[in-house]
Amino acid sequence: MSKHSGDVRIEDPTMPAGGWGSVGEVTHILFDQRVALKDSALLLKQNKPDGYACVSCAWAKPANPHPFEFCESGAKATAWETTSKAIGADFFARHTVTELATWDDHRLEDQGRLTVPMRYDPGTDTYRELSWDAAFAEIGAALRGMDREQVVFYSSGRASLETSYMYALLARMYGNNNLPDSSNMCHESTSVGLQKTIGVAVGTVVLEDFEQTDCIFFFGQNVGVNSPRMLHQLQAVRKRDVPIITFNPLRERGLVSFTNPQSPAEMLTGHETAISTQYHQVKPGGDTAAIMGLCKAIFDLDDAALASGRQRVLDTAFIQEHTEGFADFEAAVRACEWADIERESGLWRPDLESAAGVYCKSSAVMAVYGMGLTQHRNGVQNVAMVVNLLLLRGNIGKAGAGVCPVRGHSNVQGQRTVGITEKPELAPLDKLKELYGFEPPRKQGMNTVEACEGILARKVQAFIGLGGNFVRAVPERGLMEAAWRELPLTVQISTKLNRNHLVHGKASYILPCLGRIEIDRQAGGAQDVTVEDSTACMHGSRGMAEPAAPTLLSEPAIVAGIAKATLDPNPRVDWDRWVGDYGTVREAIEATYPEIFHDFNARMWTPGGFRKPVAAAHRVWKTEGGMARFTVPESLQGNPDLRGGPATLRLFTVRSDGQFNTTIYSHDDRFRGVYGSRMVLFMARADMASYALAQGDVVALRCAAQDGVERRVDGLTVVPYDVPQGCIAGYFPELNPLIPLWHHAKESKVPAAKAIDVILERAGSAS
Ligand SMILES: Nc1nc2c(c(=O)[nH]1)N[C@H]1C(S)=C(S)[C@@H](COP(=O)(O)OP(=O)(O)OC[C@H]3O[C@@H](n4cnc5c(=O)[nH]c(N)nc54)[C@H](O)[C@@H]3O)O[C@H]1N2
Ligand SMILES: Nc1nc2c(c(=O)[nH]1)N[C@H]1C(S)=C(S)[C@@H](COP(=O)(O)OP(=O)(O)OC[C@H]3O[C@@H](n4cnc5c(=O)[nH]c(N)nc54)[C@H](O)[C@@H]3O)O[C@H]1N2
Ligand SMILES: [Mo]
């Protein structure tokens, strides 16, 4: 029998995204984190040309910002970083690691900012303070004695361009390209898919394109929660009556309607803007099939136009001049059966034809997308399918059109630009050799999945984390946590206490750092940093809040500290000079990447940012064949490596407005009307009926993979929701134990967190 859960409150999420709910949330978190009034005024400097770049998402920052260029999520992230709560050595003396490991993610981070360097002491099972010098010396000595190919340098996508450049150099001077980053779990499918098809690893769209577009296709991105500032562009687009056609299995509030919390008129009148003009609840993993359907309908419309002597629907001149592979693609689309498209996408032919009709009437179409496309076994293919769709009518490289992947972490795209990559061919190794006179390693490094494999195989000897909460964010939690504890050395550069500090290696260090919003005082005065946004624009960022503690070091100082203690001195790399004046790091970045970063120090405060060259935006295709490439999908199936039998449900994991990845601000999800718990399962009423479940019943999930590994999560409360039958949704990171490590995108190795076939069991029944 399933038992009833008392701690989840479910309400109808009737409020639009934004609106009064948003204002209430911001006020609450500023109060809850005891952010001083003067610091809440900081929000006015968020994303301003002379202010700091928000530490939440990577969405573009306009040249002429709104007086309040922040959103609910950004305000929460600011409050979370500038909190006046802090913990030092006494906190750790009072709580053993075993005890802390029983606390939930929210409670851990809610203790406030970490303030002093700590080392794990197995005798007392506590973290104990040590000096910075001792920490660096010990870490350096350990790293010097290790197999240099078995040390991993991870980064979560928040560190600045300056820190990232130094960190990548540290790894390469140490002797490897083991530079996995959060992008490996995120938009790596984009970097691989776009590079292959249009010759750039990033999107082609800039903010101005929103002013000129006449149609937007929106795939698998939850704008209201994860990049809310983009709602301003979408709202403006909708005011011009531009259609927005959404593909998402779940009806997301922020994709349905929006009230601008910064517009008094809208707040007072309760005026809402309807965001999506069509909402297609595609099956998780069904986007390739859905886009095949769109393309098939487009070919039909083109055939009809040809037959009746009207203007062609396909942009044949563009296809001829700029693309290759069209004939094969056309043949594949024509051969594809509607029955297969409907089965794999879960969408009806007339609905796809209707969307295709709007596409063909529009002269400048943009495709926006997020994790709903990338975190799949066929994630790279999904991205390539978006490109196919756009190429059919020349929708890349013209005003108002293009591809717009929405990046996650605030500098995740920038880290790749300055050398954080496990792929040696993407790093300027010859240039580094010329500048610094060392022999950079040429061997392929480990990405996130490969680092996990190395840790599971007990081969990896040390893991250095520049931010992030790796062990919580990766798949296969059961096996990973056990293996993690056997790592000889773990070092976490962090702002807040998280699970990864408690699931730690044999020797373990926490190195607390300044956040980007804080004033970073060095020998050369207060330092500024730079970041790259989702549209490839580089921005300066100036810390403005007093540091959480005088004992904190900046990220560049910590990277330099580790480097000096680990590497043999190199007269050409003056780590201290770099730390004293980040302008000199920018000079080094400029020397390494002159095409992108010429006049870096002079240009870093350009309002709206300065853009790195994106060749495809100008119809220059840096692909193998020098053309934009149509590609034929290998399969329409959403989940070819993990398909359960008829008794399985397809699970996809999502985020709430109460979290930033593994950082849990609260256990509420205002947008979906769930309060008090994240251990919930969103389920179609028809599925609840067939499983004889009622709202509030508690169930367990088991992964359908039959590989001898037990993957199970218990204690999930059922919530009826508007998702397609056969599909269920729940939260990341709580459900990560269900994802097999091998279940990842084929070419990019992004874990397939959006399509996990699972078996549902009632609480209390045997597994
Ligand atoms: N407030 C807040 N902001 C954030 C973050 C956060 O956690 N909280 N995280 C940051 C990071 S690192 C990232 S990467 C971004 C992530 O931002 P998003 O890309 O929006 O990521 P998710 O919320 O994981 O999922 C996006 C959407 O994909 C849909 N979806 C799931 N499966 C499929 C599918 O098969 N097809 C389609 N078409 N849709 C599908 C889900 O219903 C969901 O609405 O946000 C960034 N911003
Ligand atoms: N099932 C499932 N799994 C997923 C996803 C999913 O959608 N579903 N999404 C994936 C994605 S897109 C991503 S990006 C990853 C995220 O994975 P990560 O990037 O590894 O995780 P975060 O939760 O963003 O990291 C939070 C921690 O970063 C530290 N931190 C915060 N600010 C700073 C700072 O300024 N400097 C430093 N040094 N540290 C800081 C804090 O200590 C905080 O605890 O998770 C992935 N995992
Ligand atoms: Mo991400």
For ligand 1, whether the C-beta of 151 sits within 6 Å is no
**Ramachandran category for residue 641: left, alpha or beta (phi over 0 → left; psi -120 to 50 → alpha):** alpha
Among all bound ligands, the one having the nearest atom to the CA of 409 is 1
Q: Which residues make Cβ contacts (< 8 Å) with residue 441, sequence separation at least 6?
A: 172, 175, 176, 177, 424
Q: Count of CB atoms within 10 A of residue 758's CB?
A: 25
For ligand 1, whether the C-beta of 326 sits within 6 Å is no
Cα(194) to ligand 3 centroid in Å equals 17
Q: Which residues make Cβ contacts (< 8 Å) with residue 539, sequence separation at least 6?
A: 49, 53, 61, 530, 531, 532, 533, 604, 609
261 pLDDT more than 80: no
**Mean pLDDT on 501-505:** 97
What is the H or E stretch that residue 358 is in?
helix 349-361
pLDDT at 15: 61
Residue 729: DSSP 8-state: E
The residue nearest atom 35 of ligand 1, judged by CA position, is: 284
Report the percentage of the chain scoring pLDDT > 70: 96
Q: Give the residue, out of 661, 741, 744, 748, with the most ligand 2 atoms within 8 A of its beta carbon, to mutate for a pocket test.
A: 661
For ligand 2, whether the C-beta of 637 sits within 6 Å is no
Residue 367: closest CA among 392, 346, 345, 350: 392
pLDDT at 332: 98
Q: Which residues make Cβ contacts (< 8 Å) with residue 731, sequence separation at least 6?
A: 653, 654, 655, 656, 659, 678, 680
Give the dihedral of Cα atoms 563, 163, 56, 547; nearest 10 deg: 80
3-state secondary structure of 76: helix
Q: Are strands 525-532 and 520-522 parallel, antiparallel or unpaired?
A: antiparallel
The length of the chain is 767
**Least-confidence region, from 57-66, 356-365, 665-674, 739-748:** 57-66
Record the tokens describing residue 414, joined without a space.
Answer: 């920038």
pTM metric for this prediction = 0.96
CATH 2.40.40.20 in the chain is located at 648-762
**Gap between the Cα atoms of 47 and 60, Å rounded:** 9
Residue 6: DSSP 8-state: S
Residue 38: pLDDT band (50, 70, 90) is low
14 pLDDT more than 70: no
For ligand 1, whether the C-beta of 657 sits within 6 Å is yes
**Gap between the Cα atoms of 573 and 380, Å rounded:** 38
Record the tokens describing residue 289, joined without a space.
Answer: 């099939």
617 pLDDT more than 80: yes
What is the H or E stretch that residue 382 is in?
helix 379-391
Return the ∠ at Cα 340 (arms to 338 and 344), rounded to 5°: 120
For ligand 2, whether the C-beta of 500 sits within 6 Å is no
Average pLDDT score over the chain: 94
Cα(733) to ligand 2 centroid in Å equals 10
Q: Are strands 323-324 and 628-629 parallel, antiparallel or unpaired?
A: parallel
For ligand 2, whether the C-beta of 744 sits within 6 Å is no
Residue 67: pLDDT band (50, 70, 90) is confident
Instruction: Decide: 382 and 373 in contact? Cβ < 8 Å.
Output: yes
Residue 20: pLDDT band (50, 70, 90) is low
Residue 13: pLDDT band (50, 70, 90) is low
3-state secondary structure of 631: coil
271 pLDDT more than 80: no
Instruction: Decide: 155 and 185 in contact? Cβ < 8 Å.
Output: no
Residue 723: pLDDT band (50, 70, 90) is very high
pLDDT at 70: 77
Residue whose pair of structure tokens reads 């796809």 in the numeric block: 352
The residue nearest atom 22 of ligand 2, judged by CA position, is: 468
pLDDT at 406: 97
**Mean pLDDT on 338-347:** 97
- Alpha-carbon dihedral sign for residues 270, 271, 273, 277: positive
**Gap between the Cα atoms of 198 and 201, Å rounded:** 8
**Mean pLDDT on 577-581:** 98
Q: Are strands 118-121 and 126-129 parallel, antiparallel or unpaired?
A: antiparallel
**Mean pLDDT on 70-98:** 93
SS (H, E, C) 231-280: HHHHHHHHHCCCCEEEECCCCCHHHHEEECCCCHHHHHHCCCEECCCEEE
Instruction: Decide: 347 and 293 in contact? Cβ < 8 Å.
Output: yes
For ligand 1, whether the C-beta of 276 sits within 6 Å is no
For ligand 2, whether the C-beta of 158 sits within 6 Å is yes
CATH code reported for the domain at 648-762: 2.40.40.20
**Mean pLDDT on 704-730:** 96
Give the dihedral of Cα atoms 745, 751, 754, 758; nearest 10 deg: 110
pLDDT at 268: 64
For ligand 2, whether the C-beta of 112 sits within 6 Å is no
Record the tokens describing residue 570, joined without a space.
Answer: 């190199």
CATH 3.40.50.740 in the chain is located at 86-184+411-603
Residue 72: pLDDT band (50, 70, 90) is confident
**Mean pLDDT on 429-444:** 98
Give 586-604 pLDDT, tens digit per residue.
Answer: 999 999 999 999 999 999 9
Cis peptide before 733 (omega within 30 of 0): yes
**Least-confidence region, from 264-268, 489-493, 544-548:** 264-268
Q: Give the residue, out of 248, 534, 723, with the most ligand 1 atoms within 8 A of its beta carbon, to mutate for a pocket test.
A: 248
36 pLDDT more than 80: no
pLDDT at 33: 84
Cα distances from 414 to residues 183, 596, 760, in angstroms, run: 11, 11, 41
Cα(378) to ligand 2 centroid in Å equals 23
Name the β-bridge partners of 712.
702
pLDDT at 485: 97
Among all bound ligands, the one having the nearest atom to the CA of 662 is 2
pLDDT at 1: 32
Residue 4: pLDDT band (50, 70, 90) is very low
Cα(57) to ligand 3 centroid in Å equals 9
Residue 165: closest CA among 530, 410, 511: 530
- Alpha-carbon dihedral sign for residues 55, 57, 58, 63: negative
Phi, psi of 246, rounded to the nearest 5 degrees = -105, 140
Which numbered atom of ligand 1 lies nearest the CA of 407? 14
496 pLDDT more than 90: yes
**Gap between the Cα atoms of 555 and 84, Å rounded:** 20
Between 51 and 220, residue with greater pLDDT: 220
Give 166-183 pLDDT, tens digit per residue.
Answer: 999 999 999 999 999 999
CATH 3.40.228.10 in the chain is located at 188-408
Among all bound ligands, the one having the nearest atom to the CA of 733 is 2
Overall CATH class of domain 188-408: alpha beta
Residue whose pair of structure tokens reads 């950079």 in the numeric block: 440
CATH 3.40.50.740 for domain 86-184+411-603: yes
- Is residue 571 exposed (0-12), middle (13-18) or buried (19+ Cβ within 10 Å)? exposed
